[in-house]
Amino acid sequence: ALRGNKGWAPAWRSPVPKNHYDVIIIGGGGHGLATAYYLVKEFGVTNVAVLEKGYIGSGNVGRNTTIIRSNYLLEGNNPFYELSMKLWEGLEQDFNFNAMVSQRGVLNLYHSDAQRDAYTRRGNAMRLHGVDADLLDRNAVRQMLPFLDFDNARFPIQGALMQRRGGTVRHDAVAWGYARGADSRGVDIIQNCEVTGIRRENGRVVGVETSQGFIGCGKLALAAAGNSTTVADMVDMKLPIESHVLQAFVSEGLKPFIDNVVTFGAGHFYVSQSDKGGLVFGGDIDGYNSYAQRGNLATVEHVAEAGVAMIPALSRVRVLRSWGGVMDMSMDGSPIIDRTPIDNLYLNAGWCYGGFKATPASGFCYAHLIARNEPHETGRAFRLDRFARGRMIDEKGVGSQPN
Ligand code: FAD
C-alpha cells in the first residue's frame, strides 16, 4: 500500500495449461491447493495442475468464518482433526506465509445437565486422544465472557466445554500461502478454467474438457467442495451428498470485546471478533438444496434471534456484510477421502460446514492417497462405501456443527 498498490509481484504464475499432467486437481479451494502443495513437497509428485473455475479463494475457503478446532468425539474424526491442528500450529513456518493463526480458544456453551454430560463425554474422549479439553463452570465462563446473557431464564448458561488450542486462521491467507508454496515448486494453478466434462477410455480417466480446452492427465482428483455432486455427475457417479448454502455475517468494527470463539448451545449461533474489530458470526444452513452462493432472509432472522439470545448487546450492533457459500453436506456429517470405482479417479468431498479446519490434514491425507494409492492411516475411516456398509461416522452434532 505504501507504493500506491503498484509494482507488486504476483505470488503465483498464470501459466498456459500443458497438454498433459500426471495429476489434475479439480478445485482451487483450500483442499485442492493444500493437496497440490503436499503432493510436491512431501510425496515428490511434481507434474501437477490445479484447475479452478473462478479465482483462487472464490469458493468456501474465502467465505468461511475461519474457525479451527479438534474437539471431536468419534474415533475416525478425532485423530484426523488433531493432525490438522498440529499442522496448523506449524503451517506459517512451513509455507512461509503469515496466515494469522490465532489459538484464542473455542468455547461451546452448555445450558442443561444433559448437555453438560454430553460435553463431559466429548471432553474425556478428546483427552483420551491427547487433545486438550477443559470443562468450565458458569463462574469461569462469566469471568471470560461477562456480556453473555447468564440470566436468560429459558437457556441459562451452566458452563462450557473449552478447547484452548482452538481458534481462528485468516482464511484467504491459507489459500494464498498454499497457492504460492505449490506454484513455487512447479504446480500450475490455472484460474478461470472450468471443468465441463471428464473423458474416459477403457474405464479410466484420460483427461478433462475445460473452458480452456482438453487437458490430459494420469490421475484425476476431485476437490470441488459444494460442486462435488455436479463434477461427479460427469462420470455418472452419485454421491451421498447434498449441497446447501451456509451464510455468514460481519458487523461494524468494535473495540476488542470477544477474546475467544463462542458457540451457543441452545440455538444455531457462533461468533468471534476479527483483528479489524468486526464480529464474525453465523448459524445454521439454509434448509433447501442450492448451488447459489447466497442465502435467504429466514435464516438471517434465525441467526439474529439466536445471537441476541446469547449476547443481548448485539441488538445494538450494525451488520456490515453477509454472504453465502455452498456446502457439500454428507449424510453422516463426516467427510470422504477415498478412491472411487474408477481406477484413477479420487474423491475429496463431504466437508459439510466444517472443512476449513481440516484443510491441512485433508490436503496431506489426500496427497498421500493420490501418490501412493493407499489411504493415510489418519484418514482411513473416510471411505465412500461406508454409507452402503452402514459404517457411518455419525458426528453431525459436532462434526458438522457450523464452524
Ligand atoms: P472451496 O474453496 O469451495 O473450493 C472448491 C473449489 O472448486 C471452488 O473454488 C470452486 O470454484 C471450484 N470448482 C467447483 N467446480 C469446479 C469445476 N467444474 N471446475 C473447476 N473448478 C471448480 N469450516 C470450518 O472449519 N470453520 C469455519 O468457521 C467454517 N465456517 C464456514 C462459514 C461459511 C459461511 C461457509 C460457506 C463455510 C464454512 N466452513 C467452515 C466450511 C469450509 O469453508 C469448507 O468446508 C471448506 O472450505 C471446503 O473446502 P475448499 O476450501 O476446498 O472449498
pLDDT of residue 356: 98
- 95 in contact with ligand 1, CB cutoff 6 A: no
Calculate how far, in angstroms, residue 318's C-alpha sits from the geometric centre of ligand 1. Answer: 27
The answer on pLDDT for 123 being more than 80 is yes
For the segment 61-72, the average pLDDT, to the nearest whole number, is 97
**Alpha carbon distance 215, 235 (integer Å):** 16
Q: Tell which residue, 98, 101, 77, 73, has the closest CA to residue 161.
A: 73
- 312 in contact with ligand 1, CB cutoff 6 A: no
Cut 0.95: pTM above it = yes
pLDDT in tens, 225-247: 999 999 999 999 999 999 999 99
pLDDT in tens, 294-341: 999 999 999 999 999 999 999 999 999 999 999 999 999 999 999 999
The answer on pLDDT for 401 being more than 60 is no
Report helix, strand or coil for 58: coil
The answer on pLDDT for 41 being more than 60 is yes
The answer on pLDDT for 403 being more than 80 is no
For the segment 352-369, the average pLDDT, to the nearest whole number, is 97
**Percent of the chain scored above 90 by pLDDT?**
94
Dig out the grid coordinates for 389 from the structure: 456398509
Q: pLDDT class for 399, splitting at 50, 70, 90? A: very low
Q: pLDDT class for 400, splitting at 50, 70, 90? A: very low
Is the ipTM, as predicted for this complex, more than 0.85?
yes
Measured from the Cα of 231, ligand 1's closest atom is 18
Question: What burial letters (b/e) apply to 186-202, b meaning 16+ CB within 10 Å?
Answer: ebbbbbebebeebbbee
The answer on pLDDT for 187 being more than 80 is yes
Pocket test for ligand 1, best of 64, 188, 239 (most atoms within 8 A of CB): 64
pLDDT of residue 148: 97
For the segment 87-101, the average pLDDT, to the nearest whole number, is 97
**Alpha carbon distance 110, 119 (integer Å):** 8
Measured from the Cα of 69, ligand 1's closest atom is 25
**Inter-residue contact 157 to 109 (CB < 8 Å):** yes
Q: Tell which residue, 339, 345, 365, 347, has the closest CA to residue 220.
A: 345
* Residues contacting 36, CB < 8 A, separation 6+: 25, 48, 50, 178, 182, 187, 189, 363, 367
